[in-house]
Structure 1
Amino acid sequence: MTTSRVTAATLSVILSSAVVGVGPPTRAAAAPQLRCPAVKAPEPPPALPSPPPVDPAAAAVGGPALATAGLAIPPGAPMAPAVTATSWLVADLNSGEVLGGCGPHEHRTPASVQKLLLAAALMPRLDPTQMVEVSRADLRDLDPASSLMGVSVGGRYSVESLWLGLLLRSGNDAANVLARVGGGADGRPGGVRAMNDEAHRLRANQTHAATPSGLDGPGQYTSAYDLALIARATFAREDFRRYIATTVAQIPAQPGTPGFAITHDTTLLGRYPGTLGGKTGFTDLARQTYVGVAERDGRRLAVTLLGAETAPLGSLGEASALLNWGFALRPGASVGHLVAPEEKKYDRPVVPVKGERSEPVEESASMVLPVGLGLGAVLILVVLILLAPFWRRGTRRGPGRSHDGKP
């Protein structure tokens, strides 16, 4: 029978490692940031307020290579196309692999692509056959020149019609009605709160909704990475895929409410092969934004971009170029992955190895010690860990005791 012997030298090495490990987990030194390829717009964009900084731990969600404000592409991959978008990401929705991105976790203003978060939060809650009457408060704060479905005060519409109006016409009026109904007793604020709860569930850490429509609001931000998480959640639903792929919808007449037809807002449907659907957005603050999904040869790629300008390509042209780049990459090429809600909430620490690329490793009590432990407490903790196997052998038969790590 082999026994473990704890020598003074072994204890010294372990103790010195433990003392170094006191405090937050260490991360590998950041690699030199690669500049995102960019094309200069014919006219300079307006001066915009600086977005808030990204928490370093949140920036590494999905993989350490994504913790950059610059470019992240697989080794040996062709250079990504030059675009005006200040942040973008291409991901495989089937495998969850992130193929590449520019500032993937950077805070950006969403505009109407925020409506996808409204769908992710409330589509599971609302009965599509439910009839809803539009109130005056639903339309009170909307600019008539903004994107509207065209509902009228006192009109009655099915929830399904409102979803079509939201996704085909980017209806800000439909967004307000859906948020009010989905918010229950709390009304529209409750609907917005549900959006933020869903963002938290999806681990979209840079996303905060202030309005249901994506119209600019205080502290309202998202990121290219977060939008890919939200797109994956929405495109997983059959009803959402059916709505977003609709090109023309008839809104039925109701007593006192005439019927009307709505057509799909400008997206890549019918313009880019394999497009399953997409959503555009624009405000003066956000500039052009886009989220879209296309399928080719069994691969389903999502592209998200924020802060694009109307020229020379516009958001749709830039999305097409990024999709072409993504489909040209070999299968399996990636710089990270889209996290799932059920994954471990906190990122695993990265242990740097000199001369090697740092990879995430599983966190354990022997690697990361609590902050604030004194030297004596560290020594006691190390001794207890080392002696634990002997105690287990001596007490395994004792009644009422568990030694498998469970309480």
Structure 2
Amino acid sequence: MSSSMGSGSIRRSAGALFRGVMSATRARTGTFTDVPTTYTAPTASPAPTTARREDHHVPPGTPRSGAATASLRTVAALASSALLVSPLLLAGTAAADPKDGNPPKAPVPPAKMSQVGGDVLGTPGVQVGLRGGAPKLPGPDTLTARSWIVSDAESGKVLASKNAHWRLPPASTLKMLFADTVLPKFPKSKTHTVKPADLAGMGEGSSLVGIKENLSYSVHDLWLGVFLRSGNDAVHTLSAMNGGTAATVKEMQQRAKELNATDTHVVTPDGYDAPGQVSSAYDLSLFARAGLQNADFREYCSTASAQFPGDKGKDGKRAKFGIQNTNRLLSGDYDIKPYPGIAGVKNGSTTNAGSTFTGVAQRGDRKLLVTVMHPEKQEHNQAYKEAAKLFDWGFAASEKVEPVGRLVGPLSEEGDAGAAGGAGGHGNAKDGHATAQAGMDSAKSSGGAWTALGITVGALLVLGAVALGVHRRWPLPELVRGRRPRR
């Protein structure tokens, strides 16, 4: 598998009908759904790929290449083949199809996961420490994601989580790590003329913003393409500017290590499915929190719509076309409104990952991060709806829960949290991480047992003291104050 394969952003759940405003071709139920007929690939031919790939999104008005036409004609066939491929290298994947014809068993998290950020975060299941008067978490019938985490974006305190360290395919949310790594390197005014080699090697079916060979783009335009349209063509162009995809992947892995993101293994720069490529809800939250320290990152991830350079006209001038952010809590959709106070960060979807999403929102002086990975329900915009419910709960419960852990700082602030945490060394007062003893919640739901936690007061005091050392304050964009609450 090439390390330069591409990524996509929005995938409809298997069997769902695409109800957007654009014309679409409907693929077979249970395969890769809804490949827009008005979209196309760049002129460079995509590299060979496995059958696991993402849906194809390219802006309207982009001329179709022969390679793209062939790709559209063969989507259903390739997608059907994907159903025969076992995701062998994914942690906690589903069991093989039983011979009795029953559906495969739901995947289960590992019994023991990383303990970075606190011992209890390595424990499977839901972790929350409710005080008196705290609102209950939504039940498992509502929160179907395999993994999720709610944390304070500034202090890093984890308010609640489920399988926070489960290593799962990240899809395009991995682009946050790409931005953490590459964004500081180039001024936004710098321009780059795209060469054919810059666009080579993207995975078939990649999401695209519509970059063309032999045309020039500013770094500012390229990052808008990354964040708004999850454009793998923009990722590969920036990677080319950074020395190539292989060099960029290596730097991303090093950056993950610097951020103490020990669950993450990078294979592609854009999050496109690849054997062994994994991250976790915990690590994705680390990437978002690190990126939000950068004003340019905050600008790009909070932009709902923009104009993007297109082809040259007969007069030699560049036309522009509109692009909209595919983060539906930011831009909205027919069945979901923009979330009040939302200000980014990144969404994704692939065959292996399902839907993934990390968001940041502000209410008053409080800023929360929510990450959701792979909801199980087959409902349109499910990841965003579950993230919105977690935001609602987090803002209501933030002063009424005992933290179950924290988002650790980078190596430069607190050393190698990953080495000790992975060995089970975290979670004691010396380390400054919350300790908790899991017990079964008396109110069990049909989706499984929920865990209530008793938190050691002494450890919490130390956690608070350590959190002050990594406390960050940074302004979210003004747009968060102008968003109306949902009704």
Q: TM-score under structure 2 normalisation?
A: 0.59
- Name the counterpart of 2:119: 64
Contact 1:181 1:188 in 2 (8 A): no
Mapped partners of 1:114, 1:236: distance in 2: 17
Instruction: Pick one of 326, 336, 342 that aligns with 1:275.
Output: 342
Mapped partners of 2:247, 2:275: distance in 1: 17
Mapped partners of 2:221, 2:360: distance in 1: 23
Q: Given residue 238 of structure 1, which amino acid in structure 2 is its aligned partner?
A: A
- Name the counterpart of 1:117: 177
Mapped partners of 1:310, 1:281: distance in 2: 16
- Name the counterpart of 1:360: 429
Contact 2:145 2:373 in 1 (8 A): yes
Instruction: Pick one of 352, 357, 364 that aligns with 1:297.
Output: 364
Q: 1:213: Cα distance to partner? A: 1.0
Mapped partners of 1:143, 1:231: distance in 2: 25
Contact 2:153 2:289 in 1 (8 A): yes
What stretches of structure 1 of length at least 5 have no aligned partner?
A: 1-40, 353-357, 364-407
- Name the counterpart of 1:370: none
User: Which secondary structure does the structure 2 equivalent of 1:147 belong to?
Assistant: coil
Q: 1:146: Cα distance to partner? A: 2.8
Q: 1:246: Cα distance to partner? A: 1.3
Mapped partners of 1:57, 1:230: distance in 2: 23
Mapped partners of 1:92, 1:214: distance in 2: 25
Mark the CA change 1:258 to 1:330 in structure 2 (over 3 Å): closer, same or farther: closer
Mapped partners of 1:288, 1:86: distance in 2: 11
Question: How many aligned positions are there?
Answer: 315
- Name the counterpart of 1:12: none
Q: 1:214: Cα distance to partner? A: 0.6
Instruction: Pick one of 313, 336, 343 that aligns with 2:414.
Output: 343
Q: Given residue 262 of structure 1, which amino acid in structure 2 is its aligned partner?
A: I
Mapped partners of 2:116, 2:328: distance in 1: 29
Q: Given residue 315 of structure 1, which amino acid in structure 2 is its aligned partner?
A: A
2:214 is equivalent to residue 154 of structure 1 = yes
Contact 2:327 2:344 in 1 (8 A): no
Structure number with bigger Rg? 1
Bigger mean CA deviation after superposition, 327-336 or 107-116 = 327-336
Q: 1:362: Cα distance to partner? A: 5.2
2:90 is equivalent to residue 51 of structure 1 = yes
Mark the CA change 1:278 to 1:237 in structure 2 (over 3 Å): closer, same or farther: same
Deviations 1:306-336 (A, max 9, x none): 1124634611101101111111114263111
Mark the CA change 1:212 to 1:256 in structure 2 (over 3 Å): closer, same or farther: farther
Contact 2:348 2:355 in 1 (8 A): yes
Mapped partners of 1:175, 1:351: distance in 2: 37
How large is the Cα RMSD of the aligned pairs?
Answer: 3.0
Contact 2:115 2:424 in 1 (8 A): no
Deviations 1:259-281 (A, max 9, x none): 33322224211511000113211
Instruction: Pick one of 248, 262, 265 that aligns with 1:208.
Output: 265
Q: Given residue 69 of structure 1, which amino acid in structure 2 is its aligned partner?
A: P
Q: 1:205: Cα distance to partner? A: 0.3
Mapped partners of 2:247, 2:425: distance in 1: 42
What stretches of structure 2 of length at least 5 have no aligned partner?
A: 1-14, 17-28, 32-82, 93-108, 332-337, 433-487
- Name the counterpart of 1:170: 230
Mark the CA change 1:287 to 1:263 in structure 2 (over 3 Å): closer, same or farther: same
Q: 1:176: Cα distance to partner? A: 0.8
Instruction: Pick one of 107, 132, 136 that aligns with 2:192.
Output: 132
Contact 2:229 2:325 in 1 (8 A): yes
Mapped partners of 2:301, 2:414: distance in 1: 28
Mapped partners of 1:263, 1:257: distance in 2: 19
2:245 is equivalent to residue 245 of structure 1 = no
Contact 1:111 1:281 in 2 (8 A): yes
- Determine what percentage of the aligned residue pairs are the same residue: 38
- Name the counterpart of 2:322: 261
Deviations 1:117-163 (A, max 9, x none): 10011111122111112222232333564310100111110111000
Mapped partners of 2:119, 2:261: distance in 1: 16
Q: How does 1:89-104 map to 2 (within 5 A)?
A: 89-104=149-164
Mark the CA change 1:266 to 1:225 in structure 2 (over 3 Å): closer, same or farther: closer
Instruction: Pick one of 403, 417, 420 that aligns with 1:334.
Output: 403
Contact 1:234 1:240 in 2 (8 A): yes
- Name the counterpart of 2:72: none
Mark the CA change 1:234 to 1:350 in structure 2 (over 3 Å): closer, same or farther: closer
- Name the counterpart of 1:218: 275
Deviations 1:219-247 (A, max 9, x none): 11000000111010111211111111112
Contact 1:268 1:278 in 2 (8 A): no
Q: 1:58: Cα distance to partner? A: 7.0
